[in-house]
Structures are given as structure tokens and as C-alpha cells.
Structure 1
Amino acid sequence: MADTALSESVVGVPDVWRLRARGCWSEAAALLAPFCEDDAGAALSRATLLVEGCFYQLDGWAEAEDALRLAEALAGTDEERGGAASERGFLAYGATLHSVRDRADEARSAYGRSAALLSPGSPGRPLLDFRRGLVAENIAVNPAAARAAFRRAHAGAVAHGDTFLTSFTWRHLAGLAAAEGDLAEARHGFAESLRIRVSLGHLVGTAPAMLSLAEVEPDDIAERLHAEAARLYELLNGIPAWLAPAFTA
């Protein structure tokens, strides 16, 4: 995949992206807040930011829930309703994954609604496929179903030019390969994920990508990756929060 320059088509509004990429989800959401009372797109984008923040900070669930309710209320087209349902499913998945509350059934139901609303060619469809893969991987523990969903998501992301999403599909496909002992494939996928995140300036996603690659690299390279990941983690004041065990002495 060729390098992709930072652009609105890849990451959204530049000022919002710069804050998002540095782990400032609330600040990024605040830039959109003035437009959210009557703009369904802005409301959904704000909800997306706050839901994503929950995954990295393991906090902010109530604020994300409020933002999502507003996005759902304003949605007026199938595309908007499908996008809101996808975010509903992702928030429910996150609450389940991080043991806030078991909402697995809600996640599956919301993803089903989203799939019914989003057309096969919708730009939101690859993200939905990816998120359904996460449920298959981490809740249903079905690697075959997860791989199929991630591959669909990856192909769709490439077709729609969603470079950011491919950093996630590469990483999760690589994780499945590593679990099966295919270290060459895992190394390639993790390296691609890291390369894309660095090229897009996605700081909050760079440390996790480095740690994943370190798991399949020789010791000397792994040590350098781990040290750089630790530096970034400290720079971002302990974000992503779920990486804390990796840096506990």
C-alpha cells in the first residue's frame, strides 16, 4: 500500500484529527459541539470521538452515551441511522470488553441494525465489518469468523481509501496470524499497521502498534520498540490506559 498523506478524505477535519491523534478526544469533540444541535453528521462525528475515547481512557462512558443519543435522535437517512447504530454497537462492545457491563447482545443487535441500513457500497460498511470481527475475535472467540470479517473490512477500507482503518485491519489480521504461529505474516501486518499510524501522526495508536510488532521481532529489535513505546506512553500521560500492564516493572 502506498503512503497516504494526511487529508480530510482519510482522517476528517484536520484540527479535529490533530487533537484526536494525540488523545484529546474531549477537546476534539468540543470543536464539533456548536454544530451538533441540528447537524446529524456533526453529532455523529462527535459521538464517534467520545466513544473512541472510552476505549483508550477506559472512562467517559456516560458522556459518550449522551452524545450517541443525540446522534441517534438527529439521524434522518439510512446512512446516518446505520452509522449511529454502528457506534451504538461499538460502545456496547467496549463496555463488555472492558468489564464495565455485559452488553454483548446489545452490540450484536446494533450491528445487525447497522448492516440492514448501510448499503453494500457504503463507506461505513468496512468499519462495520471490522467491528463485527472484533466481536467474533474477542467475545465469541471465533478466529475464523473474525478473520473473514477483518479481510472484508480490509478490502473495503482499501477500496474506499480509508487508510486509517487499514492500520487496524492489518494489526488484527496480524494478531490472528501470530496466534497460529505464522510469524512472517504477523511481522508484515504489524509493521504495516505501525507504518501507517506513524505516517498519519496517530500518536495514541503508535505505542500499541510498536508493542504488537515487538512480540514477533528478535530480542534486540523488540527491546528498542518496547523502549520507544514506553516513551510515547509516558508522553501521552498513560494513554492508552489498557497498556499499563505492559510497562509495569
Structure 2
Amino acid sequence: MNVFTPEWLITFPKIVSFFQSLGISEASTIVITKVSFVMLCLCIITGFYARTASFLLLLLQIALLKGSSFFVYGADFFTSMSLFYLILFPSDKNFSLRNFLFKRKNRNVNPTPTKRLFQIHISMAYFFSGLDKLLGFNWWNGESIWKAVHLPYSNRDLNIDFSWFAEHSYLLVIIGWSTIIIEICYPFFIWHKKTRRTWLMLTISMHLGISVVLNLYYFSAIMIIWNLTNFYFEEQRIRVRKDIAIPLNNGLETA
């Protein structure tokens, strides 16, 4: 894999070699890396300087990712993106271990600009994913679905027999086109208040199906969290604003 890695890129094998030059064995470096990875994750979860922890974990995650390019897939890249947004978001502003240990007055930080960037990002990701599927023919005729459910590493937990799809191939076509429509229409319907909840449920259902059938639990979990973070709580925020605005308006009318 080093043949395909640029010299300037810091990868985990290079980190191991560096510490070996200092007299630290490879086994010790691996243990230190594992402990550091877990500790940084715990810092993010508990809100102990989450932004700093996210930045350090992103560097470590990229070093592991770029040094093993043959073994990575989409979820690893979405992990990097998630850590990037955790650097931008003030995720340790409230209910955090940092505030519990070091009591201090928090500054009011408006997360809306970062959230809008996040929402545009996920909308573009789904749109171009759907467009890519639309440009080919494998998703039109259901071939991609047939191949996916018969991959050697998928459907290993429930071990569902999908051979009956051969006699009902129209279902493969329906599933394929449903995936294309959900993804390519995502930015058009998720931003509209009347269709947001429906499209959110359709997208989450799609990822639940991917997790159950293809056993891609981690990838599906990340995408479901992205959807909930960006648009489910957007719906709740609008609802809260309305609940606050109605009493205020009534008070003004009375006055």
C-alpha cells in the first residue's frame, strides 16, 4: 500500500517507523494508539474539550485511513467528515464534563451557519449519489440490488434467502428506482417543511434496510445520525419557536 501513498502524507506505518527510531517498539506504538483513540472518543462523548479532541482524533483517523486505502470504504470518509463538523460545532457548550469541572460562563455561540453548511453538505451527498446511480443502468434493472444482497460479506447475520427475487425481478427494479428517487430528490423535499418528515423517514428506512440486509451497521448509523442531527431537530426547533411566538403575539394583542 505504501506504493500508492505520497511521501509527504503522514500514515500510521510512518508513525510506527518514527517511534521505532526513538527506541519505542511497534507493539507499544499500537497500544498507545488504541488507548489514545478510545480516550479521545470518550472526551468527545463526555464533552471534555470536544473540539480539541475531535481535531486530534481526526488527525489520527486520517493517518490510519490514508495508510490502509485498500481496506477503507464510505463509512471511513463519513467518519472524517463527522469529526470535522465536531470541530466546528460547539458540542461541549452544554451538559459537558468540561463545564462540570471548570465552571465558567459560556459565551452564546450561534451554530446556525455551521448547521446550514452541514445541511447543504448532506443534501449534495445524497443528490450526487442518486445522480451517479441514475447515469448507469445497473440500478434501473435491479442488478445492483441483486448483487448487493448476494455479496459474500452481506446478509450474514439474519441469513435471509433472497433467491425468490429471481422469480420476482420487478421488486429489484422497484427497490433500485426507489433508492434513486429518495437520494436524488433529497435536497428538493427535505428542505420543504411539508415533505421534510416524510423524506426523513424514507431516508432513515433506506439506511435501516442497508444495515439489516448488508450488515453495514456503522455506515447506516452515521447516516441516520446525520439525518436526525440536520433535519429532525430542525423540525423540533421550528415547533418550539412557534410555541414561543403564539403567547407573545397574544400578549401584544391584549396589551
TM over 0.5: no
Structure 1-normalised TM-score?
0.30
**Structure exhibiting the larger radius of gyration computed from Cα positions:** 2
Structure 2-normalised TM-score?
0.29
